[in-house]
Amino acid sequence: MSSNSLALDQDTIAAIATPPGRGGVSIIRVSGPKALPIAELLTHKTVHARQPLLTRFFAEDNSVLDTGLTLFFQSPASFTGEDVVEFHCHGGVMVTNLLLEACLARGARLARPGEFSERAFLNNKMDLTQAEGLADLIDAPTQQAARQATASLQGAFSEAVNQINQRVIDLRIYVEAAIDFPEEEVDFLNEGRIASSLLELKEALATLTTQARRGALLSRGAQIVMTGAPNAGKSSLMNRLADQAVAIVTDVPGTTRDVIRQSIAIEGVAIQLCDTAGIRAATDAIEQKGIERAQAALDTADIIIEVMDDREPKHSELSPSDTAQSVIRVLNKIDLSGRPPGVLNAADQEDESHSPTVAVSAVTGAGIHDLEQLIIRCLGMGEAETTSPFSARERHVTCLNRAEAALDEASERFQESLAGELLAEDLRRVHTELGAVTGAFGADELLGEIFSSFCIGK
């Protein structure tokens, strides 16, 4: 993959690779052509590749800064593909900074966030989905998200993309061959083979997109927003799902005004719960502000939970624009209404919205487990076979959607025209869109944006 267009600079970069603060050990990482000379200047010793060296570290004035380990990874067998040196010193804030300064004084410059990973990418040590998997592993909100990020880091996602890409290439070769032998072209192209290959490709791409969408949801976490009439029990439900008293609950209608957020996990899926004031006409200025904030939260929600008091259930108050997201109707306070807990059958629903409906009591906890299961199902995370085998990002979903659109266009145009040249050109576009997922083709700005969101020292 020599098409990566970001230029590699020749600077030697250095950064503290461990988190800031006190600890047993801190690690400073140096990468670039001056890494080895810096190591030898700092240790006053000859440093050999892959041989841990217990040594003193010296400042420029030859005073001793600390004692620790020096590790040298010779290019290309290193994380970045360049010469890399790690200094393991004692984990104090000051001593670590002194050591970093000593590296900078000997010719390294401070690394930008993500610059080590960026160099690894530019030196073809990993592709873009692997680099992103690495960043997602570091930020993983749950164990399940961490496992899937590891799978991406190890190349599971790239492999799935590359497999599809190989099929696109095979088809392109077949079509190009047909174009090169014009007398046989018609036969070539009329054959059902191309149509069926296009169909298979479409299915494979659709599966991959679904997996990527779920992988992305798992990496970033889902947002669930509560809405419903005053006193319906939104805050009580939030507290019950969060298993702690996050929001204030009173019998005064209009208790909640601000949006209250709490991170929870249901079956390994990270979820941000948002309790709101709900949406209604308000005269009071503070309440109005609260309702504006509730609306903003609703706009970005993956799932909206509409809470109703089961003794006075209302028709859905959600406007049609909200319904692109999943809506779950919760009939609350069944300890007072006497309704049995759990998900209602479609036939029992009085509401014509067809949103799945579950009966619960936020006070006794009845039906809460059913609600949690319903949430997981609405997120598409229900059965093991539908969960994603790897982590992904919204960026990947966008690229895959574009590839799907290009493929659709390719099939349509081909059906109409049976023109090999057009199909070859359209398939080239599919190939390019898929390449953007792994970074085989990527614009500088995009790469810059991706890596700058990484942490320093990574």
- Contact positions toward Mg ion, by CB under 5 A? 234-235, 255-256
| Tokens encoding 295 | 């609306």
Q: Which stretch binds ligand GTP (CB under 6 A): 6-14, 70-78, 156-164, 328-336?
A: 328-336
Which listed residue (43, 165, 223, 235) binds ligand GTP by CB under 6 A? 235
Element counts in the chain: helices (H) and strands (E): 15, 13
DSSP category for residue 5: -
- Select from Mg ion, ligand GTP, none the partner in contact with residue 251, using the beta carbon and a kind-dependent cut-off of 5 to 8 Å: ligand GTP
Q: How far is the CB of 138 from ligand GTP (least distance, A)?
A: 36
Q: Is 193 helix (H, G, I), strand (E, B) or coil?
A: helix
Question: b vs e for 408-431, b when ≥16 Cβ sit within 10 Å of the residue's Cβ?
Answer: eebbeebeeeeebebbbebbebbb
Buried b (16+ CB within 10 A) or exposed e, 102-141: bbeebbbbebebbbbbbbbbbbebbbbbbbbbbbbbebbb
Residue 253: how many CB atoms within 10 A of its CB? 11
233 binds, among ligand GTP, Mg ion, none (CB under 5 to 8 A by kind): ligand GTP
The site for ligand GTP, by CB under 6 A, has a size of 24
Q: How far is the CB of 214 from Mg ion (least distance, A)?
A: 31
Q: Which is nearer to ligand GTP, 234 or 458 (CB)?
A: 234
**Angle of the 420-438 helix axis to the 156-180 helix axis, nearest 10:** 160
| Main-chain phi, psi angles of 90, to 5 degrees | -70, 145
Per-residue mark of binding to ligand GTP, 351-370 (x: CB under 6 A): ----------xxx-------
Q: How far is the CB of 287 from ligand GTP (least distance, A)?
A: 10
Query: Contact letters (x/-) for ligand GTP, 86-125, by CB under 6 A?
Result: ----------------------------------------
- The DSSP code sequence of 53-88 is EEEEEE-TTS-EEEEEEEEEE-TTSSSSSS-EEEEE
As measured in angstroms, the least distance from the Cβ of 274 to ligand GTP is 12
Instruction: Work out whether 236 is an interface residue with ligand GTP (CB under 6 A).
Output: yes
Provide the minimum distance between the beta carbon of 366 and ligand GTP in the complex, in angstroms, as a whole number: 8
How near is the Cβ of 240 to Mg ion at its closest, in Å? Answer: 13
Provide Rg for the chain, Cα atoms.
28
Q: Interface with ligand GTP includes 148 (CB under 6 A)?
A: no
Report CA torsion sign: 297, 231, 320, 263.
positive
Q: 37 — phi, psi (to 5°)? A: -55, -40
Comparing CB distances to ligand GTP, the nearer of 152 and 272 is 272
- Between CA 298 and CA 305 the distance in angstroms is 10
State the minimum distance, in angstroms, from the CB of residue 258 to ligand GTP. Answer: 10
Q: Which residue has the tokens 């109005």?
A: 288
Strands 109-110 and 13-16: parallel
- Tokens standing for 132? 């992103």
Contact between 230 and ligand GTP per CB under 6 A: yes
- DSSP H or E segment with residue 332: strand 326-332
Tokens of 339: 């309704």
CA–CA dist 290, 273 (Å, integer): 16
Q: Using the rule CB under 6 A, which residue among 26, 144, 231, 388 binds ligand GTP?
A: 231
Nearer of residues 255 and 401 to Mg ion, judged by Cβ = 255
Q: Contacting ligand GTP (CB under 6 A), which of 336, 354, 365, 444?
A: 336
CB of 219 or CB of 236, closer to ligand GTP? 236
Binding mask 370-399 for ligand GTP (x = CB under 6 A): ------------------------------
Residue 342 binding ligand GTP, by CB under 6 A: no
Q: Is 18 exposed, middle or buried (0-12, 13-18, 19+ CB in 10 A)?
A: middle
Q: Applying CB under 6 A, which part among 104-112, 316-324, 330-338, 439-447 lies near ligand GTP?
A: 330-338
Q: Which of 249, 274, 305, 318 binds ligand GTP (CB under 6 A)?
A: 249
- Residues forming the site for ligand GTP (CB under 6 A): 228, 230-236, 249-251, 253-256, 277-278, 332-333, 335-336, 361-363
